[in-house]
């Protein structure tokens, strides 16, 4: 019966919302501070921020060797 | 009948009450903005990456790409009916996998490098052994009733899939059977990403919601709203505490998992194109987002500002990826080319 399945569906929605409502939430200021700290701590190891030198760049176009 | 209607009405009222409760709880911890807090952080300046290589070989639109964990090999999928495995350092093609169905939408590399998987409008996720003398079909995972939009390996024995049938699924590759089905989205699932610790994953869907799931028990732990159209791309911040989404509503958003809410919106009035794909630099400071406007725009993840652009494709950028060593960005496009930048 369609009305029973609506009831089952509604119960599932309520169950899910109850679960989602129950979690503990951290203050955004704390979360923001942690995200910033992570970025700053890892910045020196981030090649796309620091730049990749041509001698160590794996994607640079291959130099052609020629016999002199 | 009447008592059932009364019960449904009571449940609806409870739903509304719970939704209000959740919004109030989110507001209660919203004690400051991310962009405000980033005022003291040094600017990254203008990020100008150079095009280093253009990988030519596909004969039709590229829909997906995925880096191998060695940061050297990469697999791409095109509606020319092929998967190509590339050595990105030399630009050589290592393996070509002919597909049964050309309508591919997703491709993934297993962490071991032994397997690749792909799928699309055939509703099937096919897993191939690419270490065999010629690519061999290992498994055809056939249970979704909608297109396969995304797939990601946990290991050589488990894979996660996202589907247009609104579900995601964890498969056992040894048996070829579904282990866990993740149901809660009310729109096509378009994208998924595994958490760094592999205990949870996130999915983005056409219901404009992003959801966080427990990989093992199938429960939806958190739901993130805010987008006003399909979420096409999703990624974990490397700390595991935040997620980034990209949507047809032309915006990207960062949601913090512990605050359970949106903390930054990446949007520009001059950008009127949907976001198709996204990837983060290794520190998480830069977001590379592919758009329908043929470009990959670069955002400062902390300050919410646009800091650069990768221009060069002649059609929509459909996929973007940064390898584990963070040494570059790969963009794939409907123009049939892949480009490597750093």
Inter-chain contact B184–A57, Cβ cutoff 8 Å?
Answer: no
Give residue B36's pLDDT: 86
Give the chain A residue whose CA is nearest to the CA of B20: A21
Place of tokens 């449904």: B8
| Nearest-CA distance B152 → chain A (Å) | 24
The domains of chain A are located at: 1-44
Concatenating the DSSP letter of every residue in B173-230 gives TTTTEEEEEEE--SS-EEEEEE-TTSSEEEEEETTS-EEEEETTT--EEEEE---SS-
Identify the CATH assignment for B32-341 out of 3.50.50.60, 2.130.10.10, 2.30.30.60, 3.30.830.10.
Answer: 2.130.10.10
Q: Does A53 touch chain B (CB under 8 A)?
A: no
pLDDT tens digit at each of 342 positions of chain B? 678 889 999 999 999 999 999 999 999 999 988 888 898 899 999 999 999 999 999 999 999 999 999 999 999 999 999 999 999 999 999 999 999 999 999 999 999 999 999 999 999 999 999 999 999 999 999 999 999 999 999 999 999 999 999 999 999 999 999 999 999 999 999 999 999 999 999 999 999 999 999 999 999 999 999 999 999 999 999 999 999 999 999 999 999 999 999 999 999 999 999 999 999 999 999 999 999 999 999 999 999 999 999 999 999 999 999 999 999 999 999 999 999 999
Inter-chain contact B12–A10, Cβ cutoff 8 Å?
Answer: yes
The domains of chain B are located at: 32-341
What is the domain class of A1-44 according to CATH?
few secondary structures
In angstroms, the first-to-last Cα distance of chain A is: 86
Inter-chain contact B33–A28, Cβ cutoff 8 Å?
Answer: yes
- Whether A67 has a pLDDT exceeding 70, the answer reads no
Give residue A60's pLDDT: 84
> Is the pTM here over 0.80, yes or no?
yes
Task: Give the whole-angstrom CA distance, residue B119 versus residue B83.
Answer: 11
Long-range contacts made by residues B165-168, C-beta under 8 angstroms, separation at least 24?
B165/B123, B166/B205, B166/B207, B168/B192, B168/B201, B168/B203, B168/B213
Helix (H, G, I), strand (E, B) or coil at A9: helix
- Whether A66 has a pLDDT exceeding 80, the answer reads no
Element (DSSP H or E) covering residue A38: helix A28-42
Q: Which residues of B touch A27 (CB under 8 A)?
A: 29, 31-32, 259
Inter-chain contact A42–B284, Cβ cutoff 8 Å?
Answer: yes
Q: Identify whether the C-beta of residue B197 lies closer than 8 Å to the C-beta of residue B240.
A: yes
Q: Identify whether the C-beta of residue B141 lies closer than 8 Å to the C-beta of residue B171.
A: yes
DSSP bridge pairs for B247? B231
Give residue B263's pLDDT: 96
- Whether A68 has a pLDDT exceeding 80, the answer reads no
């Amino acid at each position: 019966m369609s009305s029973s399945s609506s009831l089952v569906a509604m119960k599932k929605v309520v169950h899910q919302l109850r679960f989602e409502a129950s979690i503990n939430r951290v203050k955004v200021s704390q979360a923001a501070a942690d995200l910033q700290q992570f970025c700053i701590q890892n910045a020196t190891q981030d090649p796309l921020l620091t730049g990749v030198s041509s001698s160590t760049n794996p994607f640079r176009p291959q130099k052609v060797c020629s016999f002199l | 009948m009447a008592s059932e209607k009364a019960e449904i009405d009571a449940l609806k009222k409870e739903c509304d009450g719970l939704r209000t409760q959740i919004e109030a709880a989110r507001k209660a911890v919203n004690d400051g903005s991310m962009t405000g807090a980033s005022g003291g952080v040094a600017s990254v300046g203008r990020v100008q990456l150079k095009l280093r290589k253009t990988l030519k070989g596909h004969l039709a639109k590229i829909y997906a790409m995925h880096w191998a964990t060695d940061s050297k090999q990469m697999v791409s999928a095109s509606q020319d009916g092929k998967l190509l495995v590339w050595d990105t350092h030399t630009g050589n093609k290592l393996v070509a996998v002919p597909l049964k169905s050309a309508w591919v939408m997703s491709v993934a590399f297993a962490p071991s490098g032994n397997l690749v998987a792909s799928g699309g409008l055939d509703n099937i996720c096919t897993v191939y052994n690419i270490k065999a003398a010629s690519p061999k079909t290992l498994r055809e995972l056939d249970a979704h009733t909608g297109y396969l939009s995304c797939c990601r390996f946990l290991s050589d024995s488990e894979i996660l899939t996202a589907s247009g049938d609104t579900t995601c699924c964890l498969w056992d590759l040894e048996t070829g059977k579904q282990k866990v089905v993740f149901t809660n989205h009310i729109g096509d699932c378009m994208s998924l990403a595994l958490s760094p610790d592999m205990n949870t994953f996130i999915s983005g869907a056409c219901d404009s919601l992003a959801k966080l799931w427990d990989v093992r028990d199938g429960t939806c732990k958190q739901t993130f709203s805010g987008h006003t159209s399909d979420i096409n791309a999703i990624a974990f911040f490397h700390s595991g505490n935040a997620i980034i989404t990209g949507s047809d509503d032309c915006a990207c958003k960062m949601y913090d998992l512990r605050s359970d809410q949106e903390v930054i919106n990446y949007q520009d009035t001059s950008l009127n194109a949907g976001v198709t794909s996204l990837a983060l630099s290794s520190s998480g400071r830069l977001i590379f987002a592919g758009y329908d406007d043929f470009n990959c725009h670069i955002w400062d993840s902390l300050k919410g500002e646009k800091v650069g652009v990768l221009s060069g494709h002649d059609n929509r950028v459909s996929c973007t990826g940064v390898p584990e060593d963070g040494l570059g960005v790969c963009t794939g496009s409907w123009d049939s080319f892949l480009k490597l930048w750093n």
